Structure 1
Amino acid sequence: MDFIFHADDFGITPEQSRRILECCDGCPGGAGLLNSLSILAGSPRFEECARLLDGRPDGLRVGVHLNFVEGPCCADPAEVPLLVDEKGMFKLGYGGLLAGSWGANSAELRRQLTVEAGAQIARVVGRFPELATHLRVDGHQHTQLIPAVFDATLEAVRQSGCTLEYLRIPAEPTGAFLRSGVAGTVRPINWVKHALLNVLWRRDRRALAASGLPSYERASAVFCGVLFSGHMDQGRVARVLPALTDEARRREMPLELLFHPGRVASATECLNPALPGFVEFSCGEGRDVEHDALRSEELRASFEAVCG
C-alpha cells in the first residue's frame, strides 16, 4: 500500500522551503516521513526554491500546487482579468470562485482559469521536465473542487499533454474520524469545510468520469488534511492513522496525509501580505507543530505499526 506524506506550499521562500525539506529522509539535514510535496509556480522566488529540489532523493515526489487565490498569477494578467487586479494579484478568493462557477461569466471564468492553470503547470514542468510523464496536481486552499476550477484543471491537464498520475480529491472519509475518537477534537469550521468539499466532490466526480482522464480510483487517494487543517499534530494523526489505513486498503487506494510544515518567517514574505487570513496561516505556529510531527519518532512508530 502506498502512503503519501505530503507538504503543500513549497516555494514561498527558500528558508520556508528548506524547512519543508527538513522533514524528508535523504534531504540535507532532513529526517522524517515526508515523501511528497507540491510547488507554487507563481511565487516570485520560484526559481530559488526550485534549485533546492535539484538532486532530491528519488523517493520524493513533486507536484504542482495550483493557486488561484493568493499572490501573483503566472499567465499574462491581460489574459486573466477576471482573476486578478491591476497589479496581477489574485482577487477573487474562495467565495468569489465558488459564486463565479454559476455566474453570468462562468464560461469565461472557466476559460481564464484554464489559461492560468496551464501557465502554472507549464512553469513547473518546464523547470522539471521529468514530471511530464507523471504529473501530480493539487490545489491551494483546496480550490480545485470548486466546479469552475475543477473543470479548468481537467482541461489544462489535457492541454498540457502530460500524463496525469495524481489529482488530489480532498474529501475525507468521515467514518475514520468517528471510529478513532478524534471527531470531538476537530474545530467546527473544519467540519463546515469538510461538508462543503464532500458536496462539491459529488458533482466533480461526474465531471472526472466524463473527462477521459484516469478515474478517481486510479489517480487519487484516501485523504486526510482538512479536518485537522492547521494542526496535524503527531497525537491526533497517530490515533486516526489505523482507521484511515483500513479505509485505504478497503478501497485499494493510496493514503495521503497532508501537512503544512513550512512556516513563513514574516508577513512581508508571504505571497500577498495584504491578505490577513493567509498571512496568519502561513506564519502560524501550527506549521511548526506539523513540521515536528513529520519528524517525530512517535509518528514513525505509528506508521510502521500500521504497515505491519
Structure 2
Amino acid sequence: MILRSLGTRISLYGLVGIVAAAVHASVLIGLGLLLPLWLANPLAFLAASLAGYLGHSRFTFRPETGGARFARRWLLIQYLVNLAVCSLLPLLLAGLLAPPLELAVLVFTPTVLNALIWSRAAHFSLRRRSLGIRPRLHADDLGLSTATNQAILALADAGRLDGTSLLVNGPAAVQGAADWMSLKARRSDLQLCLHLCLTEGPSCAAPELLPDLVNRRGHLQLSFGQWLLVSLLPPPHPRRRRISTQLGLEIQAQIARFRQLGGDGPIHLDGHQHIHLVPVVLETVLALAERERITWLRSTEEALPTGLPLLCWWEALRQAGLLKWLVLQLLSRRARRPIRRRGLISNQGFAGVLFTGQMAGVPLEGAWRELQCLPRQADPAADHPAMAPLLLAHPGARLEGDLSAEGFGLSQPFAASSWRQREWQALSEFVG
C-alpha cells in the first residue's frame, strides 16, 4: 500500500512536471516573438511555476492540502530559489565536471529542490489543517471612553469576547471597571487585564515623583520610541537609572489602581501600544512580578496569515502595520526567555498587530484561521486558558468629544475612526 501510494505520488509529480514544462515552452515561444529572451524566459518560468504550484497542491499533495492551494509564500520561494540556482549553478560548475555530468547536475538540481519545496509546502498545509485549541477574543482600552466601554461590554455580554484590558488612567475607567465586574459576576470565565499605560494620560503616581515621565499637566509624555531609546542606554547610565526608579513607582501605582477597580488577585498585564515589551519597561515589570503577583504577560509573536488578498498586504504596508509587526516580533522574542525565567505564563499565539485597528472582514477571518492552525503544545500545562492564542481587537461606538483634553491625544484619531464601529460590527457577527 505504501509503495503504491509512493508510486502514485511520483507519477502525479511527473505529470504535473510535464504540464509545467509544456507551459514554460509554450509561453516562452509566444513571448519570444515579442520580447528579448532574457526577459521572456523568466516570465515563462513564472508561468511554469504557477502551473506547478496549482498542480501539486490540487493533485500531487491532495491528501495534505485537501485540494486547497498552497500558501502563496511557497510559490514565491520556489520561483526565487529556482531563478537563483539556474543563474548561479552554471557559473559555479564551469570546468569542474565532465560535460555529461555537468548537464545532469544542471537538469536534476532544480527538480530535487522543487520536490523538497513542494513537500515542505504540503507539510505546512497539513499542519494548518490540524486544528489546535480555540483562540480567545480580546479587546483593549476598556476605560478609554464611554464609547469604547459601550462596545466592549455589549460584545462581552453577547458572548463575543473572552476578555478585555483596563486602562486604569482612562477617563471612563471607573465606570468601565464597575460594569465589567458586574458582568463578570455572571460570566466568571471573563478575563480582565491591566493595560499598562506609559505614553499618554494622567499618571497614577503623584506627578512630582515622576519629573522625567510627565509634562506640566501631569500627563505621561514619553513616546514608544523614546522608551526604546531609554532602553538603549546602559543600565548604569544616570538617566536610565532615574527613569527606571520613576517607572517602578508609576507601575506600582497603576497596579494599585487596578486592584481598587478590578478586585484583588493575581495580575494579568499587557501594555497600551504594547509598551510592556520595551526592554526597560519589561525589566521593571519582571522585577516587580513576585511582589505584585503578576502571573501573566501578553506576547505579540504573530505568525503572518496566509490566503489574504494582495490588497490587504498593501494596506498593512501603507499603514505601517508591517513595520509595527517587525518591531514587536523582535521585542516579543527577546522577552520570551526572561518571562519564562521568572515563572510567568503567556499566550501561545497572537494576532492583532499586523492589521491593528482594522480587524474586520478578511483580516479578522485570516487571523482567526491562522491562530486555529497553531499546533498544540506538548506540555499539558499549555491547555491552560491563559495560554490560548489571543486575537486582539479595538471595538468602539461612535466617539463623542475630544480625548485630547483628557491627555489622550495619541488615542484620539484612533478612537474617533469609523473602524472602531466596523470592528464592533465584525465581532458581533463573527462566527469562529
Give the TM-score category using the shorter length.
0.7 to 0.9
SS in 2 for 1:55: helix
Whole-angstrom distance in 2 between the partners of 1:2 and 1:73:
37
Change (3 A) 1:139 1:155: same
Larger mean Cα displacement after TM superposition, 41-50 or 281-290: 41-50
Q: 2:371 pairs with 223, 244, 248, which one?
A: 244
**In the TM superposition, what are the counterparts of 1:1-308 in structure 2 within 5 Å?**
1-24=133-156, 27=157, 31-56=158-183, 57-103=187-233, 104=237, 105-130=239-264, 132-133=265-266, 135-160=267-292, 162-164=293-295, 166-174=296-304, 177=305, 179-181=306-308, 185-186=312-313, 187-188=316-317, 189-210=320-341, 212-214=342-344, 218-249=345-376, 252=382, 253-263=387-397, 265-270=399-404, 272=406, 275=409, 277-296=410-429, 299-300=430-431, 303=432
Tell me: CA distance 1:157–1:22, structure 2 relative to 1, closer, same or farther (3 Å). Answer: same
User: Given residue 274 of structure 2, which amino acid in structure 1 is its aligned partner?
Assistant: H
**What is the one-letter code of the residue matched to 2:389?**
L
Q: Does the C-alpha gap of structure 1 residues 18 and 236 become closer, same or farther in structure 2, counting only changes over 3 Å?
A: same
Residues 168 and 126 (structure 1), Cα distance of their counterparts in 2 relative to 1, 3 Å cut: same
CA displacement at 1:295 relative to structure 2: 0.4
CA contact (8 A) 1:71 1:89 kept: yes
SS in 2 for 1:138: strand
Is there any run of 5+ residues in structure 2 with no aligned partner, and where? 1-132
Q: 1:125 to 1:295 in 2, by over 3 A?
A: same
Looking at structure 2, the residues matched to 208 and 220 of structure 1 have their Cα atoms a distance apart, in angstroms, of 12
Identity percentage of aligned residues: 28
Structure 1: which 5+ residue stretches go unaligned? 304-308
Would you say the 8 A contact 1:66–1:120 is kept in 2?
Answer: yes
Once residues 263 and 85 of structure 1 are traced to their aligned partners in structure 2, the CA distance between those partners, rounded to angstroms, is: 30
Q: Is the 8 A contact 2:301 2:333 kept in 1?
A: no
- State the secondary structure of the residue aligned to 1:22: helix
- When Rg is computed on C-alpha atoms for both structures, the one with the higher figure is 2
Q: Indicate conservation of the 8 Å contact 2:398/2:421, yes or no.
A: no
Q: Which has the higher contact order (CA 8 A, sep 6+)?
A: 1
SS in 2 for 1:137: strand
Alignment deviations for residues 122-143 of structure 1 (CA, whole Å, 9 cap, x no partner): 111123324x13x211110111
Following superposition, the deviation at residue 183 of structure 1 comes to: 6.6
Cα drift, residue 170 of structure 1: 1.2
1-structure distance, mates of 2:244, 2:411: 24
From the superposition, tell whether residues 3 and 244 of structure 1 become closer, same or farther in structure 2 (CA, over 3 Å): closer
State the one-letter code of the partner of 1:140.
H
Give the number of the structure whose residues are more often helix, by fraction.
2
After superposition, the CA RMSD in angstroms is 2.2
Specify the code of the residue in structure 1 equivalent to 2:354: L
